[in-house]
Amino acid sequence: MKKKKLFSGNAREMTMLVALVVIIALFFLLTKGNILKPMNIANLINQNAYVVILAIGMLLCILTGGNIDLSVGSTVAFVGACAAIFIIEWGWNVYLSIGLCLLIGILLGMWQGFWIAYMNIPPFITTLSGMLVFRGATLMILKGGETIGPFPKAYQSLSTGFLMPNTKIELFGQSLNLLAVIVGIAIVVIFCAMQLINNQTRKRKGYETDTPLALVIKMVAISAIILFLFYKLACFKGIPTVLVILGVLLLVYNFFTQKTVRGRHLYAIGGNMKAAQLSGVKTKQMMFFAYTNMSFIAAIAGLVFAARLNSASPVAGQSFEMDAIASCFIGGASAYGGTGTITGALVGALIMGVLNNGMSLMGLSQNLQQVVKGLVLLMAVAMDVISKQNVFANLRAKRAKTAVVQKA
C-alpha cells in the first residue's frame, strides 16, 4: 500500500514558507525586535511592493520554459517618467494619466511579444534590447537625466497611503485600527473555508489530498501569520493602499494560473512545447500574452514605485529584474519552466524583502547584501536542479528494473 504524503501540495513551497519564518526569527534576534515593529512592517510592505508585483508577471514568463524578461526595470523607469510628464509637467488628471501609463505598458509588451512569439527571436535577446531601448527612452523623456517631482497627494497615495487610518478602537489596552482588525479576521475565515472546500473537492474527484493533520497545521500556521500581520498593521496606521493592490493582483493571477484553461496552457508550454502544440495549445498566442502581461505588470510596478519615491528618476528600476527573477526561483519556480505558483512567487518576494530590510536594519553594506542575495538565489536554483536530477535518476532506475523483470 502506497504511503500517503503529509502534504499533497508543493513541498518546496512549504519548505520556503518555513524558511521565511526562520529568516524573520533570525533577524528578530539580530535587530533586537526592530524588524517586527508595526511601523517597520508597514514600511516593509511599501518598500517591497514592486518586487511582489514584478514577481507575479515574471512567473508567467518563467512558466513558458524558464524564459525571463530583462526589460522590466527599464519599463518601470519609463512608465514612471511618463507619469511624471503627464501629471507634473502637463498637469493632466491623475487617473487619466494612470490609465495612459498602463496602456503604454501594454504597448511595450506587445512590441516585445511580437518579436518573441511571431518572429521567433529568443526572449533573452528581445528583452535585452528592450532593456536598452526603454532605458534610453527614459533618459530622453527626462531630458538627459533630470529628476521630476513631487507628485500630487492623490497620486502618492498609491504607495504611501492607508485605508481609513483614523478609525481606531481600544482592544486589550491597545489602540487598533478597526478596518485592519476586521479585514484580518475576514481573510482568516475565508482562507480556512476555502481550504476545507478545496480539500473536499479534491477528495471527491479522487485527487491526492492533505492528511487531516497536515490540513490543520497549514490552516493554523497561515492563519496565525495573517492575524499577526494585520495586528501589527492595526497597531500603526492600518492597511496600506498598496497592500490592496497586491491583494487584488495575487487573487486574480492565482485564479488565472490555477483555475483557467489559459493558465494551464502556460504550464503545458513550459513542460513540453512540442507536446502542447500537438495538443492544440496556441503556443504563439500564449507567449505573446505572457510578455504583454509582463510589461503591463511592470507598468503597475512603475506607477507604485514612482509614487513611493514621489518623483521620476532616470536610475529608477535598476536591477529590479534581478529581484523579480530571484523571487520566482526562490519561491519554487523551475529553471526549466512548467513549475511554479503565484503563492510561491509571493513567498520568494517576501524572503527577498525581509533580507533587504533585515540587513539594512543591521547596517550591512549594499555590497554584502548583494553577495547574500546572490548566494540565496544560487542555493534555490541548485535545489531545483538537484531535485530534477534525482527524479530523472529514479525514473531511469525504475525503467531499468522493469526491463530486467520483463526479460526474466
Residue 196 scores a pLDDT above 80: yes
Q: What is the pLDDT of residues 269-289, one digit of tens each?
A: 998 888 998 889 999 999 999
Q: What is the pLDDT of residues 62-97, one digit of tens each?
A: 999 888 999 999 999 999 999 999 999 999 999 999
* Mean pLDDT, rounded, for 145-169: 87
Highest averaged pLDDT of the listed ranges 1-5, 28-32, 55-59, 346-350: 55-59
State the Cα–Cα distance between residues 90 and 94, nearest whole angstrom: 11
C-alpha cell recorded at residue 355: 533580507
Helix (H) or strand (E) holding 384: helix 366-407
Helix (H) or strand (E) holding 101: helix 94-113
Quickly list DSSP for 278-290.
HTT--HHHHHHHH
DSSP state of 311: S
DSSP state of 148: B
Q: What is the pLDDT of residues 96-124, one digit of tens each?
A: 999 999 999 999 999 999 999 999 999 99
Helices and strands, counts by H and E, the chain: 15, 4
* Mean pLDDT, rounded, for 363-374: 84
DSSP state of 6: S
State the Cα–Cα distance between residues 107 and 130, nearest whole angstrom: 12
State the Cα–Cα distance between residues 198 and 218, nearest whole angstrom: 13
Between strands 162-163 and 168-171, the pairing is: unpaired
Residue type (1 letter), 255? F
Which residues contact residue 344 at a Cβ distance below 8 angstroms, ignoring those fewer than 6 apart?
10, 12, 13, 16, 59, 328, 331, 332, 333
* Mean pLDDT, rounded, for 21-45: 90
DSSP state of 85: I
Q: Give the rounded percent of residues in the chain with a pLDDT score beyond 70.
A: 91
Q: For the chain, how many residues are written?
A: 408
Per-residue pLDDT, 121? 95
Q: What mean pLDDT, rounded, does the chain reach?
A: 87
Helix (H) or strand (E) holding 80: helix 72-84
Up-side HSE of residue 145: CA atoms within 13 Å toward CB?
Answer: 1
State the Cα–Cα distance between residues 159 and 286, nearest whole angstrom: 31
Residue 6 scores a pLDDT above 60: no
Residue 404 scores a pLDDT above 80: no
DSSP state of 35: G
Residue 308 scores a pLDDT above 60: yes
State the Cα–Cα distance between residues 30 and 21, nearest whole angstrom: 14
For the chain, the domains span: 48-157+277-394
pLDDT-based confidence at 332, cuts 50/70/90?
Answer: confident
CB atoms within 10 A of CB 370: 12
